[in-house]
Structure 1
């Protein structure tokens, strides 16, 4: 189940750089709050796919579920309930504010993953049949 996939790893690293740029230099009302959340779902998928051999569609569903769980944890203010609000990495990973639009952004990111993987699979099948 564990393996290293160079292609997914480099794509993950590229998306990480995009996310870092957005976090450091973009302060608007669309790219940072919405598009960043779309991209983070893709980044998480690619990061996991870099090291875990798993069905692409199953992994995409698990990543979406994880994103939803984290957003729901924000709704219930779990970080504060657990007394972890003073730990920066925890606050960054779990966030601080629940937003219904984040769930939409995660869903859009999940849809992008499914679309890209379907296109990639069709292309690979077409190449293999030649």
Structure 2
């Protein structure tokens, strides 16, 4: 379990990463940063949100984060956004992405390794 005082670090990390992800989404239309670095950071963003709002262990937080990332990618595989219209479709595309990619799964895995490494160092 994570003491309440240590959760502040997760909150700060979440706020910073959310700002970075929002800037990437608003200002970049493609390329390495939007396509790959954004996915890596998205996994870390999800992890910091989970850990800032819960008292889960690091291991449980990592498993939950990986599960969410995998679910999002599977939803892209079935093209969940096809069921939305207009503005809702734009929001769904921004949240869930637009297409399945094995490279996204690789970036999620790398993001999880970054989190694991940071937790070990912080540890």
TM-score band, normalised by the shorter chain?
0.7 to 0.9
C-alpha deviations, 1:29-71, integer Å up to 9, x for none? 2111000000010011001111111011221121112111110
Alpha-carbon shift at residue 28 of structure 1 (Å):
4.3
- Deviation string 1:89-116 (CA, Å, 9 cap, x unpaired) is 3232112211111000100001101110
The structure that has the greater radius of gyration is 1
Query: How many corresponding residue pairs?
Result: 118
Unaligned runs of 5+ in 1: 122-130
Pair 1:109 & 2:123 matched: no
Q: Aligned equivalents of 1:85 and 1:70: distance in 2?
A: 19
Judged with a 3 Å threshold, the aligned counterparts in structure 2 of structure 1 residues 56 and 79 are, in CA distance, closer, same or farther, namely: same
- CA distance in 1 between counterparts of 2:61 and 2:13 reads 16
Mapped contact 1:64–1:110 kept (Cα < 8 A): yes
Runs of at least 5 residues in structure 2 that lack an aligned partner in the other structure: none
SS at the partner of 2:94?
helix
Question: What is the match of residue 125 of structure 1?
Answer: none
Question: Of the candidates 68, 78, 86, which is equivalent to residue 80 of structure 2?
Answer: 78
Which residue is equivalent to 1:60? 62
Q: 1:98 maps to what in 2?
A: 100
Detail structure 1 runs of 4+ shifted over 4 Å in the superposition: none
